[in-house]
Amino acid sequence: MRIYKAANYNEMSRMAANILSAQVILKPASVLGLATGSTPLGTYKQLIEWYEKGDIDFSEVTSINLDEYIGLSSTHEQSYHHFMHENFFDHINIKPGNIHLPDGTATDLEKECKDYDALISDTGGIDLQLLGIGTDGHIGFNEPSDAFEPLTHVVNLTDSTIKSNTRFFTDEEDVPKSAITVGIKTIMQAKKILMIVNGKNKADILKEALYGCITPALPASILQLHPDFTVIGDEEAFSSL
């Protein structure tokens, strides 16, 4: 595990963008595992800036997103499809056919999960997985549980996640209660993992995830076992360490 402390959110985002950018420069046909949430916004913004300057080329990149809400169409403003297009894909030269997210409106969700796993293995696997962390220690939408779920699956979101996602919706009633997420095995099979964390509200869970017991009750704790795991946090995120 490598830990890098950034002075603030902007520095964290720049450091993360540097790692993603190096990955794409060294291997133009990289498979990037991507995340949503407010944490990676600065990273995507920085990558867009470097793309506009001509420093990075995404034309051969494939993206695999971690998760999607069930019941939201790709055009819904709060869907992760929409988030990724608005904040990243629409501003770079990634090929539309190389962009992948689970379909939260699929009628056969079990099939959708199986197909998503097959798609990931068809790409040859994820080269670099970008992750945030939920305030309850979830990664993707792998919520605290009694067992690690290895593969892509449907998950009922915890009250804490629903509450924390309420900030993006006008009404708490509208917040989806379930999602499709890639599983822990898929995340752990990524060749490299980069987790970014900012803010005081993540400090305690980050400390537990990095130095506490490895347990499905805190899904991010499994990352301690990954052979190429990097964490970049700002000062506030590391304030409990």
Residues making contact with ligand GLP (CB under 6 A): 35-39, 66-67, 132-134, 140-141, 161
Catalytic: which of 68, 112, 127, 143? 143
Cβ count within 10 A of residue 130? 26
CB of 132 to ligand GLP, least distance (A): 3
Considering the complex, state which of residue 27 and residue 184 has its C-beta at the smaller distance from ligand GLP.
Answer: 184
Q: Is 85 a catalytic residue?
A: no
CB of 187 to ligand GLP, least distance (A): 10
How many angstroms separate the CA atoms of 236 and 44, rounded? 21
Q: Is 239 exposed, middle or buried (0-12, 13-18, 19+ CB in 10 A)?
A: middle
Catalytic: which of 68, 81, 127, 138? 138
**Tokens at 194, concatenated:** 């980069």
Catalytic: which of 68, 112, 127, 136? 136
How many angstroms separate the CA atoms of 170 and 150, rounded? 33
How many angstroms separate the CA atoms of 79 and 88, rounded? 14
Considering the complex, state which of residue 57 and residue 239 has its C-beta at the smaller distance from ligand GLP.
Answer: 239
Q: Is 208 a catalytic residue?
A: no
DSSP state of 158: P
Q: Is 136 a catalytic residue?
A: yes
Considering the complex, state which of residue 60 and residue 160 has its C-beta at the smaller distance from ligand GLP.
Answer: 160
Nearest Cα to 100, choosing from 77, 78, 123? 123
CB of 55 to ligand GLP, least distance (A): 25
Considering the complex, state which of residue 8 and residue 38 has its C-beta at the smaller distance from ligand GLP.
Answer: 38
Q: How far is CA 107 from the centre of its chain?
A: 24
Q: Is 103 a catalytic residue?
A: no
Cite the active site residues: 67, 136, 138, 143
